[in-house]
Amino acid sequence: MGIALGTPASAELVAFKVGTDRAGLGRLMRLWTSDIVALTGGRPAPGDTAPELAVANKGLTVTVGFGARVFELTGQKPSGLDDLPVMKHDRLDPAWSGGDLLVMVGADDAVSVVHAVRRLIADAKPFATPIWRQNGFWDSTGADGKPVTGRNLFGQVDGTGNPAVGTPEFDETVWSKTPDWFRGGTTLVVRRIRMNLDTWDELTRSEQERAVGRKLSTGAPLTGTAEHDELDLEARDADGRPVIAPNAHARLSHHSENDGRRIFRKGLNYVHDTGATRESGLIFLSHQADVAGQFLPLLARLDAADALNEWTTTIGSATFALPPGFQPGSWLGQSLLG
């Protein structure tokens, strides 16, 4: 899943437990580099047992992240990458949390994702074992074929406040500068958020919009008419109350309410079926240069007061460092493991 690219229609995240040393990890990264170059180029990976699926891939991207164990082996952990503290509203399940390595695979169709993930897991077997897998989907294309922000399963336009890709604001928000091996990389927080759709449906539309601080129809702030209008956090209604409530998600997450801190967020809707029972939610993905400096203060603020806490519960959490991309002739993580 390319960071600066749009969210793919289908994606899978796989976290691994590392069972090798630094040299073995380097061998795995070289194997994965060969796989990634081949698969994203529409060619079979070495040893591919279903080469036709590789040739037919649609918009395939692969991103790899390093977790705590990698930095125990190398001693070069980026600052602020410690595991997040458990928040008051969290109900974390180890089945969806942690990990030493992460692979994120995205594409415009699920078959391409499934095939690429199978190849990457197969090559990892001597070195690392999957500990959780999360599958998600997203629709970021409008009826006219043009890109749109996309909606979560509450029906909300989700991700409006992101800094625009390619701007200095985006670069400052996302890309890390230290340590040297990590320059041009970024950090990732993965949060699996269970959403109670049934109790959300019990609200009136105006109650839903008040909790979010935005109009469900367009994603516009309650003080505006278009999705990307700026929030007017000083606006009052006829009774003197803030139009955007003090506990509205849009207010609490806005950079002006967080000492200018920003993140670059993406999301994947998910459903998880067990027999006749379905769980629905959001795989929340936050990119930032520094987890502790940018994401954690925002998370604490939302946990303390966000109106949406009544209908959402975080059940999984993990943090990773995503190394800079590799150039032809080099391999993934070479500046750290080489």
Active site amino acids: 158
Q: Are 161 and 251 in contact (CB under 8 A)?
A: no
Tell me the sheet residues that pair with 87: none
CA of 163: how far to CAs of 160, 193, 267, in Å? 9, 23, 15
Q: How far is 44 from 207, CA to CA, in rounded Å?
A: 51
Contacts 24+ apart (CB under 8 A), 219-224: 219/149, 219/156, 219/157, 219/160, 221/250
CA dihedral 212, 213, 219, 220 (to 10 degrees): 180
Asked whether the beta carbons of 283 and 25 are under 8 A apart, the reply is: no
DSSP state for residue 225 in the 8-state scheme: S
Token digits of residue 33: 């580099």
C-alpha 147/C-alpha 224 separation (Å) is: 21
Instruction: Return the structure tokens found at 211.
Output: 């909790």
- Token output for 76: 């070069």
CA angle 85, 86, 89 (to 5 degrees): 140
